[in-house]
Amino acid sequence: MNTMLRTYIYRSLSEPVVQQLLARNTDPSNAVQQSVTAIIAEVKAKGDAALKAYAQQFDGVQLEQLSLGAEEIAALAASIGREQQRALEIAFANIHRFHATQLRKERTVETMPGVTCWREPRPIEKVGLYIPGGSAVLPSTLLMLGVPARIAGCKEIVVCSPPQSDGKINGYVAYCLQLLNIDNVYLVGGAQAVAAMAFGTESIPKVDKLFGPGNQYVTKAKSVLQGMTQVSIDMPAGPSEVLVIADSSANPEYVAADLLAQTEHGPDSQAILVSTDQSLIDAVQDALATQLAELPRAAIAAKALDNSYAILCETTDEAIAFSNRYAPEHLIIEMDEWEPLVRKVSNAGSVFVGHLTPESAGDYASGTNHTLPTSGYARSYSGVSVDSFIKKITFQHITQEGLQNIGHTVEVLAELEGLHAHKNAVSVRLT
């Protein structure tokens, strides 16, 4: 048997060891924080000049201009094959279909006779979408962010993606820009891209909210910028992760393929197998070794497997308890009897159930969003949705009858808090 994953027995783990297993994407020496803080300061001070210097330093490209317009985007989009165009169109349609149901009108509520309250959605006016383009170019991420932004009705959608070696963007990203009716893209990557959108530069507009996954530097930059500007962020979405719960009914080939799909994102990705069956873990170890050998990105996946592990549990309740503590970005339940487990899932970004539901389907084309909280943030954050691109404003209207009904209550509450001007705003109306 090949041992690709370190295996732990759940019952024998002490609490400090569990805490170590739950921790990921940490920055103990503060190296990422320091690097990001320096980049942010440079972009704030020097604007476009800093972005061009970073393009030379990090992307190895000397940029004359920081953006591509509609004509250049159209030419790049036309360079890709019809089969690829069709796949992107189907993904676009499915993502649109799923997200379109999320824009619901809420009903008006009369809280007491004559007192009416309601809530209406309004789009966030200017949003910044960061589309990674490092070791893997991700046109799918542009669809995942652009589609809900369009459904929400955002007035300005600013897209940043790192330049390729030819100083352009990938044709697939260009085709997605066309599907989304976006006719400009900025050639900026990394922490410097999110800083540029947060502050605005000579070329790049300042936005109200930042979206998009990235490496540790991008994730850290988003968090730092949220603290120092009025820009908000979608969520902390850093290195990718998957947790697979599988029992003896699972196919080890499928499980191994699902684990490897996550590890090829980057060396800091993580793939966890939680099982009630030691023989399944053994079979997955063998399948991992066989499948890894055939992957073009085997070197990256192998490094990610070094960060990964398997856990043997006695019961599925133990397995789900560990998963809820880990709060995975992606949770796959590969069991015949998956339905009873669904209601026990309390922390996860997106869940894939059954033997024929690979996480890749959600990454690309089933319709759900793949921009999801990582590093345990699924305990408190949701993945991107139309809600991420809107804010909801409350309205109220009070009639003469309503003022008679609610007025005295407000006067009493204002007085007990010692806020007499608040009381008076009601009293002058009652008299």
Average pLDDT over the chain reads: 95
270-290 per-position pLDDT tens digit: 999 999 999 999 999 999 999
pLDDT in tens, 173-186: 999 999 999 999 99
Please tell me the predicted confidence (pLDDT) of residue 135: 61
Looking at residue 237, its pLDDT comes to 82
Q: What is the pLDDT of residue 134?
A: 63
Q: What is the average pLDDT across 389-415?
A: 98
- 109-112 β-sheet, strand order: 109-112, 115-123, 390-398
Active site residue 329: yes
Q: Is 330 annotated as a binding residue?
A: yes
* pLDDT tens digit sequence for 131-169: 998 666 789 999 999 999 999 999 999 999 999 989 999
Look at residue 236 in the predicted model and tell me its pLDDT: 84
pLDDT in tens, 47-99: 999 999 999 999 999 999 999 999 999 999 999 999 999 999 999 999 999 99
pLDDT on residue 138? 87
Q: Which domains are delineated in the chain?
A: 6-25+239-367 (3.40.50.1980), 31-235 (3.40.50.1980), 399-430 (no CATH)
Confidence at residue 328, expressed as pLDDT on a 0 to 100 scale: 98
Question: Residue 281: what pLDDT?
Answer: 98
Structure token pair of residue 183: 């006719």
Residue 254 assigned ligand-binding role: no
Determine whether the annotation assigns residue 363 to a binding site: yes
Do the annotations mark residue 96 as ligand-binding? no
Is residue 248 part of an annotated ligand binding site? no
HEC per residue, the chain: CCCCCEEEEHHHCCHHHHHHHHCCCCCCCCHHHHHHHHHHHHHHHHCHHHHHHHHHHHHCCCCCCCEECHHHHHHHHCCCCHHHHHHHHHHHHHHHHHHHCCCCCCCCEEEECCEEEEEEEEECCEEEEECCCCCCCCHHHHHHHHHHHHHHCCCEEEEECCCCCCCCCCHHHHHHHHHCCCCCEECCCHHHHHHHHHHCCCCCCCCCEEECCCCHHHHHHHHHHHHHCCCEECCCCCCCEEEEEECCCCCHHHHHHHHHHHHCCCCCCEEEEEECCHHHHHHHHHHHHHHHCCCCCHHHHHHHHHCCEEEECCCHHHHHHHHHHHCCCEEEEECCCCHHHHCCCCCCCEEEECCCCCHHHHHHCCCCCCCCCCCCHHHCCCCCCHHHHEEEEEEEEECHHHHHHHHHHHHHHHHHCCCHHHHHHHHHHHC
What would the mean pLDDT of 294-317 be, rounded to a whole number?
A: 95
Instruction: Name the percent of the chain lying above pLDDT 90.
Output: 91
User: From the candidates 99, 330, 334, 359, which is the catalytic residue?
Assistant: 330
Would you say 265 is a known binding-site residue?
yes
The verdict on whether residue 424 carries a ligand-binding annotation is no
What is the model's pLDDT at position 137? 76
The active-site residue, picked from 241, 264, 329, 359, is 329
108-130 average pLDDT score: 98
Query: Is there a binding annotation on residue 408?
Result: no
Supply the pLDDT for residue 136: 66
User: Is 370 labelled a binding residue?
Assistant: no
Please list, in sequence order, all residues whose beta carbon lies within 8 angstroms of the beta carbon of residue 347, skipping any fewer than 6 positions away. 323, 324, 325, 326, 327, 328, 378, 379
130 is in an annotated binding site: yes
Whether the pLDDT of residue 8 is over 80: the answer is yes
